[in-house]
Amino acid sequence: MNIGLLLNSFSRLKINNAIPSRNISIYPSLFLNTTNVLFAEPLKKKRRIDPGIVRAREERRKRKLEKSIRKLQKTARQLKPIAEIEVPAKLKKELELRKREVPAVSAEKLESEVLLKKEWTRYKTKQHKETLQLIEKFMSAQKKSLDELRLISEELYQEAIQIDPELLPFSTKGPVRTPPIEGYDPPDGEYIDITKKYEGET
């Protein structure tokens, strides 16, 4: 059997099965076959690490995590500082310079202050009691008058117990529209957020 004829038949069969719709030459010298491109390199040798070093690394990582957890737990209990009531660092440094010497108060002066406070307390208590008695007297007289009025006329009584809208008169007068300010450039709604961010906030 002729080897050239055999190769010719195999080439025709392979090409026809692979790409039936294309017109490719069936000669074996024109048939090209390529392999996949492989990018590979020899495997690196695995270095043997001392188990003590591995253990030390794990312990170091564990201690670092525990320290971070303790720090978070400590800051979680702290309240957010209020900038308005915080004492500036400059004033804290000048604390010694700003201290004032308070003169010592004598025992006689302290005693006089205590007696004065007691006298003032007695006076205000008496004033409060007199005010309550006066209010009670007015309310009693009002109730007696209303009861007498009701016996005379029910209609007048109903009119008398109505709320008087003129009891507390209030009137005001002012501009109904604010005049425009010359040369005023109104803001367009943008602003710079200067809110401080603290640890743990999103």
Share of the chain above pLDDT 70, in %: 79
Cα(21)–Cα(33) distance, integer angstroms: 18
Question: What band does 22 get if pLDDT is binned at 50, 70 and 90?
Answer: very low
Please give the biggest Cα pair distance in the chain: 148
DSSP state, 14?
A: H
Confidence check: pLDDT of 58 > 90:
yes
DSSP state, 20?
A: T
Q: What is the pLDDT of residues 135-189, one digit of tens each?
A: 999 999 999 999 999 999 999 999 999 988 777 777 778 777 788 888 888 777 7
C-alpha neighbours within 13 Å on the C-beta side of residue 104 = 2
Burial class (CB in 10 A: 0-12, 13-18, 19+), 26: middle
Cα(141)–Cα(159) distance, integer angstroms: 18
pLDDT of residue 186: 78
Ramachandran class of 79: left when φ > 0, alpha when ψ lies in -120 to 50, beta otherwise:
beta
Cα(68)–Cα(61) distance, integer angstroms: 11
Residue indicated by tokens 């007015």: 138
Contact 75, 199 (CB under 8 A): yes
pLDDT of residue 26: 52
Q: Which of 169, 146, 172 is nearest to 159 (CA)?
A: 146
> Region 50-64: what's the mean pLDDT?
90
Residue indicated by tokens 């017109």: 23
Q: How many residues does the chain have?
A: 202
